Structure 1
Amino acid sequence: MQDPTTGPTARRARWLGGMALGALILAAPAYAETLQGALAKAYENNPTLTAARAGQRANDENVPIQKSFGLPEIGTQAGYDENIIIPGNSFNSPARSVSASAQLSVPIYQGGAVRNAVRAAKYRVEAGQADLRATEASIFSQTVGAYMDVIRDIAIVQLNQKNVAVLRTNLQATSDRFEIGDLTRTDVAQSEARLALAEGDLRGAEANLIASREAYIRLVGEAPVDLEQPPLLPGLPGTAEEAVAIALDSNPDIEAASLEVNASKSDIGVAKSSRAPKLSATLGGGYNNFLGSLNSGVPGLSVTQETSSAAAGLTVTLPIFTAGRRSAQVRQAQSRSSQAIENYVATERGVIAQTRGAYAAWQANEQVITATEQAVSANALSLEGVRAENSVGTRSILDILNAEQEYLNTQVQLVSARRNSYVAAFSVLAAMGKAEARDLGIEGGALYDPAVNYRRVKGQIWDWADDPAPQQQSTDTRAVPAAEATVPAGIDPVPAPTGQ
């Protein structure tokens, strides 16, 4: 058995992992695009990610909202009344009046409702921050997939273009030999059929390339131009068990599910508080002015046109019977807490399965790459030999066509396996919670920190502290030209892996 520490899989793992992504990207010409550059653009401009950030900022506001229910409230009211019709027996009714009142209400004890609601809101803020990390990793995974799809599909188009050119040359040579009687009409027909199929495959490959480029535009916001081969990935695990252990500790989905469990437990406290007595203090005052329109009804006797009042007091509310509503609310909160607990278990199971599956896919594609590289070399030698044998009459035209098709198929399989291996390796990092901007060395400015907005708003008590009017943050793609199937010239469609 081959030593796993020295075999091709281990060598390729060392090729993929070991150093940070940002540090391994070499300086590139201004026109070229790197994977890090694509990730930076998606991080800055992807609408799914910018929308998730806005949603988290909205989530932050639940904390000051819940805190406000435990803080004093001041309200005022003013009014003007003009009595248009005065009853005939109301001799001293005023014709008009101005009134104003104000009240200060101070909640003293709410049965724990405010405390538990604030605690639940804080947990959900933390859960939302973890969800934002998960969204970030998801966008990065999609971007890596789209980036690698474009590279793969460019290579497949180039391979099919070369295959069509070779088959055209074969057809011309076969036709020439038919003209001199060296081959039969059957040989020409076989060459024509194979060329027609190859041209159809080329059209399909071009359509796939256009679709991949459009997917890239959707995620990144710009067209893919001269994409460089991807750099090494950081910190890939040595075993599936190592990957799972890291994922259980760092995966943002698990963290968010755990925080939702804590929040749901606080919700139970909120529901139970509805049974407790509530105490609040009030202070109010009022002012009325009848604007000289109030009279005593007795000639010569004047009355005061202004009145004022003030009152202070305590209010105790003790719920006694609500027809089972409060118990139902408690049971409802308990059931939702049970749901959150089970959702946590489901999330954990999903992350474990995702991590193991991505690791297995990565390792499988590493083996496929090793085997397919050997097959490509073998098919290249086989094609060369079949052509040589055909020249001396021991091989038919069909043998050449089959050898060329096998050579093409293994080359396409190789570039696909390299794409699949890289994407699966990145998926392993994402499942481990190690595929976020802070892990990948994203450049272009300060990283978005959702805690900054939370710290800004969590203690806000001013009723006029609005934010600026909402503005579009992500870029639209209306001005980006439609993707085409053109491919750059002079690029090897099956390059050797970096580091080999």
Structure 2
Amino acid sequence: MRHFLLPAVSIVALAAPASAETLQEALARAYQANPTITASRAQQRANDENVPIAKADGRPSFSVTGNLNENPVNTGNAFGNPERSLNASAGVTIPLYSGGAVRNSIRAAETRVEAGQANLRGTEASLFTEVVGAYNDVLRDEAIVGLNTQNVRVLETNLRASQDRFQVGDLTRTDVAQSEARLSVARGQLQTAQANLISSRENYVRLVGTPPGVLDAPPPLPNLPDDPDAAVEVAVADNPTLLAALRSRDATQYDIRVARASRLPQVGVTVGGNYNNYLGTLGAGSNVGGVSGIMQDGASAGVGLNLTLPIFQGGRPAALIRQAQALRAQAIEQATAAERQVIASTRSAYAIWRSSLQVIQSAEAAVSANRLSLEGVRAENSVGNRTILDILNAEQELLNSQVTLVTARRDAYVAGFALLAAMGQAEARDLNLEGEALYDPVVNYRRVRNRISDFGTDPAPEPVAPTTRGTPAQGAELTKPLAPELNSNVDRTPALTTGENAPNR
């Protein structure tokens, strides 16, 4: 599956303005500058360095040392304790055999790099799932605010009509009180909906880095599986979190070999040279030969073969091996736990997605039926067959079904995307982030894996993700009208509003 984020029909509105922000744009911003993913990339770059660190243990090392000694008080033999001396030495150590410790350390590091790359894929998928959720939360909550705003307007009209009909004796004070109470409840629900919208917008800012503005319709999700078993089959093969756990498990077998190498012989070659100079002070003050007859400097060089054969280390090698074996057992169980989690998440996302689709169908039918019911109740009220409470209940039922509809649409989309993410098919390579260069962790790994320079450092780190401190606090204003299927304007003829021509109940 590739390139599926294309324009589509809106979840809560038929169309958005041409300047509306798309889900693809929101994902691209998060991909480039969300601190969670930029930090994960930096962590993976640090993980890459474990490979050259492991390789360094098997490479020759060269060192130079020097010292200058000054003896201001010299009362002993001038040959054994000259006034000053200069010494320098240089040596090259070449490891030849380490029991397989270096080789297996490198393999373990390389395997953990692969695990880290899979984890980075998982971070991308998790971030995109959060962004998709935040994007649809804003759409849902803005629709709910619109519905509650509409409901308040309707109830305000009902209250004025009830008051008018009370003035002409067509209704009782009880009817007016019921309208007032329902309007007060509706205003409280509107305040709650507005607070939820503000919270969703702030969460969007946290993830994307910019305010949501006018959001376009999210696109349809392609290639969703037909049954949960097919989804699980794909997820077990390509879920990045599971792949990372499996690679981490594989790395532990090399750790055991490294621990076993601690009780094997180690062989190395050392090539070194020394130079010393007493700076004319050797033999000073002595009556033997004078200073001028004594050699004041000297040099030497040597080549040696070093063999280290561990005999007894106090139980340390065995403890290291047992520790590595226990950690491998832990990694094996963690891989099993990751597989279980992936299977459960996939099946759960599939179930929520399918259930939400059914809820959408039911809610659409309920909205249509409740709208018809409200119009009928209003018409029957105009001839005295229905009470004001019947109208209020019908309006509340319509509102509830509308809220259920927009919520189910949000839940279905987010669950569908989460299902794709669990299957390993909702990452940057799948999202067609046009104009955005995709981050490839392999590039940095290839750059550093064979470096041998002690001075090849990178520039000082600079912030990548911008702060949102300057972003204005989000409000609950509406950015676009409700979709027609959510609009519940009703006929407001005089007979329905004042009751002047209707018979008394």
Shorter-normalised TM range? over 0.9
Partner of 1:21 in structure 2? 4
Q: Secondary structure at the match of 2:455?
A: coil
Partner of 1:351 in structure 2? 342
TM alignment of 1:69-468, pairs within 5 A: 69-90=57-78, 93-295=81-283, 297-298=286-287, 300-301=289-290, 302-468=293-459
Residue pair 1:158, 1:493 contacting (<8 A) in 2 also: no
Residue pair 1:60, 1:457 contacting (<8 A) in 2 also: yes
Deviations 1:393-436 (A, max 9, x none): 00000000000000000000000000000000001000000010
Q: Distance in 2 between matches of 1:28 and 1:173?
A: 35
Structure 1 residue 440, shift from structure 2 partner: 1.2
Residue pair 1:19, 1:233 contacting (<8 A) in 2 also: no
Structure 1 residue 92, shift from structure 2 partner: 6.2
Find 2:24's aligned residue among 30, 36, 53.
36
Q: Secondary structure at the match of 2:473?
A: coil
Q: Secondary structure at the match of 2:439?
A: coil
Q: Distance in 1 between matches of 2:158 and 2:326?
A: 72
Residue 480 (str. 1) matches residue 475 (str. 2): no
Q: Distance in 1 between matches of 2:87 and 2:484?
A: 85
Q: Distance in 2 between matches of 1:256 and 1:262?
A: 10
Q: Secondary structure at the match of 1:159?
A: helix
Q: Secondary structure at the match of 2:212?
A: coil
Q: Secondary structure at the match of 2:478?
A: coil
Q: Distance in 2 between matches of 1:224 and 1:123?
A: 40
Percent of aligned pairs with the same residue? 57
Residue pair 1:39, 1:143 contacting (<8 A) in 2 also: yes
Supply the AA of the counterpart residue of 2:97. Y
Q: Distance in 2 between matches of 1:374 and 1:337?
A: 55
Supply the AA of the counterpart residue of 2:149. Q
Deviations 1:325-345 (A, max 9, x none): 211111111111111111111
Q: Distance in 2 between matches of 1:384 and 1:25?
A: 32
Deviations 1:66-121 (A, max 9, x none): 00000000011122221121134546632222221111000000000001100000
Supply the AA of the counterpart residue of 1:174. S
Q: Distance in 2 between matches of 1:494 and 1:456?
A: 56
Q: Distance in 1 between matches of 2:248 and 2:346?
A: 22
Using structure 1 for the length normalisation, give the TM-score: 0.93
Partner of 1:14 in structure 2? none
Q: Distance in 2 between matches of 1:279 and 1:19?
A: 53
Residue pair 1:155, 1:494 contacting (<8 A) in 2 also: no
Q: Secondary structure at the match of 2:45?
A: helix
Structure 1 residue 373, shift from structure 2 partner: 0.3
Q: Which moved more, 1:123-132 or 1:486-495?
A: 486-495
Q: Secondary structure at the match of 1:360?
A: helix
Q: Secondary structure at the match of 1:22?
A: coil
Q: 1:35 to 1:270 in 2, by over 3 A?
A: same
Q: Secondary structure at the match of 1:182?
A: coil
Q: Which moved more, 1:187-196 or 1:441-450?
A: 441-450
Supply the AA of the counterpart residue of 1:470. P
Paired positions, count: 479
Q: Distance in 2 between matches of 1:471 and 1:344?
A: 35
Q: Secondary structure at the match of 1:321?
A: coil
Structure 1 residue 20, shift from structure 2 partner: 3.6
Partner of 1:9 in structure 2? none
Q: Distance in 1 between matches of 2:183 and 2:2?
A: 46
Q: 1:282 to 1:173 in 2, by over 3 A?
A: same
Residue pair 1:19, 1:232 contacting (<8 A) in 2 also: no
Q: Distance in 1 between matches of 2:140 and 2:480?
A: 15
Residue pair 1:19, 1:235 contacting (<8 A) in 2 also: no
Q: Distance in 2 between matches of 1:125 and 1:86?
A: 60
Q: Which moved more, 1:114-123 or 1:301-310?
A: 301-310
Partner of 2:490 in structure 1? none
Q: Distance in 2 between matches of 1:23 and 1:378?
A: 33
Deviations 1:298-351 (A, max 9, x none): 255321111112111011111111222211111111111111111111111110
